[in-house]
Amino acid sequence: MRTLEVVINANHVATLRDTAGVWSLEYTPEWIASADGYDLSPALARAKGVIVDGSSERPVQWFFDNLLPEEQARSLLASDAKIEFSDAFGLLGYYGAESAGAVTLLNDPHLPAEGGLRPLPDTELSERIRNLPRVALTTGAPKRMSLAGAQHKLAVVLENGSLFEPMGSTPSTHILKPDHSQRDLYDATAVNEWFVMSIAQEVKLGVPAVYIRRVPEPVYLIERFDRRRVNNRLEREHVLDACQMLGLDKSFKYQQATPETLRKILGLVRNVAQTRIQLFKWLVFNILVGNNDAHLKNLSFFVRADSYYLAPHYDLLCTAVYGESAAPWLEAELVWKPEGIRTHAEVTRASVISLGEAIGVNKALATKIINELAEGVSNAASTILNEYAHAMNAGESRLVRRIVHGVIADMVRQLKD
């Protein structure tokens, strides 16, 4: 049997066990009795005390496996740790000291490592980026960390314009991403994500602060929304992605991207009416900017003692711009498909209105939101391009202009017709 202790901001919450491949979670009596306590997720209720995975339903394993990265990023972390790619428990034990949200996984909950910061000079970061994808971006970091997703990323502290790596119990403040390692297929992804997130800021979609830094390679930085200051001390906030919220394995992140799934989520949150509107705005925005990677793990929710609340949006970038054809976005397949619609070329104003109606947004309000976002996204994209074009290199400028004058222009036209 293998065990890990689940800790949230110095509170010993539970013990995680792997017994011959069967995962279980046992909440501590203190966390169950605490007025500030909460369920780690709807599928992991404190009232049960102990939750043991079954043969087909594995809520414990699925919840914690969702904290690990995917694809090549996971493979590199496994290689660095000399742990099998498929050994999720082993990887969590090795990298669980820093993950998404508030959960940390430790061998001993009573011995938190002393905190601190280690400077991360641009020269060192640049060298790590150049070593991708052969060596993980976290190689050489003072803290082992696990960040979900498929891209290479690093948890850092940004303080007075300088980058640091957190040590021990010190939480990170920002997530850093370099350009995609397959640059021949996905060019200038750092500027792409910064640009689309900046548009989202302008149209008040609800996103964290974002930055571009050059070391000299471009890196994208996003402020962590799962952090808060309490008495001048930085604390972690517990958040769930939508897969964790619904007790789903990460393999369902695209398959379950349906209006029915959003209705299930709306049944769990506190402010239903406001959340419904925010989710529809997110759907419309992603169609307008060509973000076809807006899956369930790219929606997150704050966990409070009384309920769940939608967190700021993240991982917004134009994926539809990549491809070999003259206008690859037109043939790009949508994640959230209005009924009878598969690609961007088929999207109509009426189909997006119907998508809103499927989650309870009436036609008049859906029409108003579409009109406002179509105009707002178009104007913001042009303004940001004009203001920052001088700071982009030729490849970045070419990509961003294609997003503005190709993807966004086409989608705005289709949603206005």
Nearest to 92 by CA among 75, 78, 79: 78
174-178/218-223 β-pairing: antiparallel
How many folded domains does the chain comprise? 1
pLDDT in tens, 4-58: 999 998 899 999 999 999 999 999 999 999 998 999 999 999 999 999 999 899 9
Both tokens of residue 302?
Answer: 């704050």
Q: If you average pLDDT over residues 351-378, what whole number do you get?
A: 98
pTM of the model: 0.93
pLDDT in tens, 75-130: 877 887 889 988 999 999 988 777 777 898 988 766 556 789 999 999 999 999 99
96 contacts 86 by C-beta, under 8 angstroms: no
Residue 111: predicted pLDDT: 57
Q: Longest C-alpha distance within the chain, in Å? A: 62
360 in any annotated domain:
yes
116 in any annotated domain:
no
266 in any annotated domain:
yes
Nearest to 351 by CA among 337, 361, 334: 337
- In angstroms, the CA 128 to CA 78 distance is 17
Domain membership of residue 302 as a residue range: 244-416
343 in any annotated domain:
yes
170 in any annotated domain:
no
144 in any annotated domain:
no
pLDDT in tens, 128-148: 999 987 877 877 777 665 666
What is the CATH number for 269?
Answer: 1.10.1070
- In angstroms, the CA 52 to CA 128 distance is 40
1 in any annotated domain:
no
50 in any annotated domain:
no
